[in-house]
Structure 1
């Protein structure tokens, strides 16, 4: 049995400790085995007391280190002259709420003192096992129970792995399976961040909290005695966070990284997540997994890498994280971090940032505006240092990538749709070597659809090798073409701000082709704060007036390309009509001369 006369100190806001001023041991046979007993007979009384004070202080400081090492709470002891004992949970973190959360107190040991009132600070405190509880703990091949268990705890250091393992084992073996009943509990009322567990008896307590939003966790260990009837614990509720961002390829948007981007099909899109280092006190293992899900229009490039900075100058060694592709139906990939080792290796404290960068290609399955191509991520993290199976997910964060289309209708001067015109879409005005290659999706609802091929080089090489303008790959059944045939067509997969040039390669029979390429520029902007909706408009310009923009709708832009028929446009460099006039005059003159000659001959004959 342990006896000590103690003074409680609150000099440090997070760590509580006890300063022992006197230590008495019972006169038992067991004590006779103490190596200090023989010295007691020859020591002077004051010298003996001084020596034992040092021993007691060291032992009980280690015991109370279990209290101070509580991972999720910092405890402050208060003195009170009342006759009841209580533990108050007081959340001062404005970022996280504990409203609705339930806290339970479990008594591990008795803790009694001989103090008459709170002014009797030299009164001895006795820690004893609780009858019927029979706490048992095995470490290093030895099983500890009762007073031996208290003795073992006195050898452990603050925040040590051994101490955390002990707390984990007590939780699993006695609390989680219901072998230990709570001494008291409280549910924090709505709209408040403070609650008190009342009607407790003096003793050494483990406080345990549970809530569906934060998981279950052991949150504090406190001592209640006459000298300290009321304890206040302040939850350390700082949880890791995740921010998801996409890099915009348009400098005019003002912000390079945000929640909105737009691209041409085939572009490589840059993404990143920014996550924070959690509070790791009490954890020997910490689940920290980034889950990332890409929509069908995005092809992950399997290049995720983690950095300590946003400039990508401080890469995290690959031994501290693992990237796994397609681990589940909902995940494109995950990044699992050995957080305890990582934080130790780089001396990272809670709140430090980790940056994970990766890319995706916008593919032919991309949704075309007014639909978008989302990329969603969340962080799965540990919620209980004593139970690895208990994890919580951060809220999902989503960013959006957009790609656009134009609708082109070939008409005559009266606005009637005509068929048979052929076009190329160029990236450089007048240069037909810069033709875009398309996936020919054939007619859909009367509109022939052409989607920009994601790999332009491969598609162009395929057509060049075959010396054709259109080719169907027998393996994929995808038809590639560099020629748009109108009627009415839809061109999918365009980016905003880029300049596109519509070149009329051939006009329908009886119609005149455009004399110059039409310049098409799309302008897009987010329609709401999170970027999940976008507006787009078009500007179409050319050297002639044979086109008109019909509409600039919220989900498309459409315009007509007009061909004239029935007359030739003015031209130069030809032989003109003068020669034909001269020939006509000559023929007429010759005919007149011939007629007169015949008449004269006829008259002579008469």
Structure 2
């Protein structure tokens, strides 16, 4: 009996041990199930442009990682990005084994940045759908951010709406990157036309002169939807685009590589009301995509011309403004601007202290010995003389009006010589030409001295001189005769007294 009790106790103990072991196993299984939920990632783009859309692409999957040890295990994600990794472009950056694990050949900032550019270019070229899209919003600190949440762990490249690759990073599980705003820009200068200042931002011209402009587009990797806009003052008359070329010496062909509107090839006016716009074709982006994304193609120059209207205002800035729109949202760059002027010389003819003198006649020349053969021709309108846009026609004589003025308009900065060819009747003509210099800012020097106001030209009256047979000699003869007669009378009187 005692033996039976001992056996029963042993059996009960064994059953209890088995029961406890079964309970522990269940707990462990629960814990394993709980921890097997896939970890999710989050990437935040800081310093973003408010309202701009950002796209994110997963180019590698992150299978596992140990941050403490700095160990990350990447694999090919499948689909289009496997094709990229296996391509000649991808092989510049990645090494992969037969099991699909991938490592970077060079982890330097320069090479990683280059990888981001190539990856975005590949996505655009092959129309790869973004993993996620986010719009940047402004936080309380005025720092716009774009947030991508609920991401698979992996290696991601981020693209802005402008088409530029802003960064590349790993979601493990969170990451923060900064948009460096590597965006395009434009600069404009004047290359020819009249008197151009040293930095090309301003010039002065004669009426009717042709002005040559050059706008440089500073191209950035990932370029897309570039449209150059140019708005001219109404007195700058656009003629045509002459050349479009890049820093790699490629000269672009109209209709094949770019389109100008308005133009004989592309009728119609630009939508934004500018003078003309130039856009690039799909063929251009396909042809030059690799040069753009690798940073070889960095500048595109557009050279074009306009002429100055004969109605152009005097001493007034005629502005020419350029800007670029780009990307899906037609983001606008800062504007670049030039100024074109045409100047005038106000001449005031007077006598005495300040009495206006009418009828004085002049010619104007750039030759220090002015003559009818080298005189500048003008179109007169009362006392206003505007530079003739056709120098085979027009008047060379400039005549002062009843208020003494001769307004000479439509000239570029430079040195001129004003010669009086005929003085008003009774006044002395000025013998030496007057040297007049129009400075680049429109101010005037006369014989080397800067003045304000009018170029004042003084004429003096001539005085009458005595001549033979005139009153001058007659008076002398009369007085002399009287004196002789008086002397004779006195002498005769004295003789008579002596006789007596």
Give your verdict on TM over 0.5: yes
1:190-225 deviation line (CA, Å, top 9, x unaligned):
668796848636467988887xxx66999789775x
Other-structure match for 1:567: 463
Change (3 A) 1:104 1:341: closer
Match of 1:495 among 394, 412, 420: 412
Tell me, in whole angstroms, the C-alpha distance in 2 between the residues paired with 1:345 and 1:104: 22
Q: TM-score, normalised by structure 1?
A: 0.53
The 1-side partners of 2:437 and 2:76 are apart by 83
Q: Structure 1 residue 415 and structure 2 residue 354: aligned?
A: yes
Q: Distance in 2 between matches of 1:489 and 1:271?
A: 34
Task: Give the match's secondary structure for 2:240.
Answer: coil
The alignment status of 1:399 with 2:338, answered yes or no, reads yes
Report the more deviating stretch, 292-301 or 242-251. 242-251
- Contact 1:99–1:189 (8 Å) recurs in 2: no
Correspondence 1:28-67 to 2 at 5 A: none
Higher gyration radius (CA): 2
Matches within 5 A, 1:299-314: 299-308=237-246, 314=249
Unaligned stretches of 5+ in structure 2?
Answer: 1-37, 91-118, 264-268, 486-500
Question: 1:200 pairs with 150, 154, 157, which one?
Answer: 150
The answer to whether the 8 A contact 2:66-2:72 is kept is: no
Conserved in 1, the CA contact under 8 Å of 2:227 and 2:324?
Answer: yes
1:399 positional shift: 0.8
Q: Say whether the 8 Å CA contact 2:193–2:210 is kept in structure 1.
A: no
- Contact 1:103 1:187 (C-alpha < 8 Å) held by counterparts: no
**Matched length:** 402
Change (3 A) 1:252 1:359: closer
Aligned to 1:514: 430
- In the TM superposition, residue 344 of structure 1 has moved relative to its aligned partner by 5.1
Q: Report the Cα offset of residue 501 of structure 1.
A: 2.0
Q: State the distance in 2 between where 1:586 and 1:194 align.
A: 105
Q: CA RMSD in A?
A: 5.0
How do 1:248-259 and structure 2 match up within 5 A?
A: 255=198, 257-259=199-201
TM-score by length of 2: 0.63
1:457-476 correspondence runs (5 A)? 457=392, 459-460=393-394, 469=395
Query: 1:87-121 deviations in whole A, cap 9, x for unaligned?
Result: 33456xxxxx5264677788999x89688998797
- Paired with 1:240 and 1:185, the residues of 2 have a C-alpha distance of 20
The whole-number CA distance in structure 1 between the counterparts of 2:294 and 2:398 is: 59
Provide the rounded CA distance (Å) in 1 between the counterparts of 2:406 and 2:191.
31
User: Which residue of structure 2 aligns with residue 337 of structure 1?
Assistant: 280
Q: How many angstroms apart in 2 are the aligned matches of 1:342 and 1:560?
A: 64
| Aligned residues of 1:343 and 1:349 also touching (Cα < 8 A) | no
Contact 1:88 1:194 in 2 (8 A): no
Mapped pair 1:374 → 2:319: yes
Given the alignment of the two structures, is residue 432 of structure 1 paired with residue 395 of structure 2, yes or no? no
Range that drifts further, 229-238 or 500-509: 229-238
Contact 1:265 1:453 in 2 (8 A): yes
Question: 1:265 pairs with 207, 213, 220, which one?
Answer: 207
Name the structure 1 match of 2:18: none
Aligned to 2:189: 245
Q: Does the 8 Å CA contact 1:89/1:235 hold for their aligned counterparts?
A: no
CA distance in 2, matches of 1:588, 1:320: 101
For residue 88 of structure 1, the aligned residue among 23, 27, 43 is 43
- 1:33-60 Cα shifts (integer Å, max 9, x gaps): xxxxxxxxxxxxxxxxxxxxxxxxxxxx
**Contact 1:269–1:360 at 8 Å: present in 2 too?**
yes
Tell me the alpha carbon deviations over residues 138-194 of structure 1, each in whole angstroms, 9 at most, x when there is no partner.
xxxxxxxxxxxx5566445555988546655x46xx98xxxxxx7x88746466879
What is the distance in 2 between the residues matched to 1:206 and 1:353? 29
Query: Is 2:384 aligned against 1:484?
Result: no
Alpha-carbon contact 1:99-1:190 (below 8 Å) kept = no
The equivalent position to 1:354 in structure 2, one of 258, 280, 300, is 300
Q: Does 1:275 align with 2:174?
A: no
In the alignment, structure 1 residue 454 sits paired with structure 2 residue 389: yes
Q: Which runs of 5+ in 1 are unaligned?
A: 1-82, 92-96, 128-149, 176-181, 385-389, 443-447, 461-468, 470-480, 526-534, 542-548, 571-575, 596-606
